[in-house]
Amino acid sequence: MLNKIPATKLKSSLKNRFDAASLPKIHSMAWLNYEMFLKRLARLAADNAKQDKSAVIRENHVRNAAKTILGGIRG
């Protein structure tokens, strides 16, 4: 499974890096990026399930979709 960053660690690192006025904007942008990632993941997993002629999205469909999406991201 993918490692998660604890919310407190994320908030403290953001506070150290950015000023207080821009923190709400950065938090909302991080949340929107997360939501867009989940939407892409769900869409690609559904496509993988259709290719396998499966009516249900299984774990391997989601894992393959995550590998594809995360392989295209450079960070």
pLDDT in tens, 33-63: 889 999 999 999 999 999 999 999 999 999 9
Give the integer Cα–Cα distance in Å for 7 and 72: 25
pTM summary value: 0.71
Q: What pLDDT is attached to residue 1?
A: 45
For residue 56, give Cα distances in angstroms to 13, 51, 61, 66, 75: 39, 12, 9, 17, 32
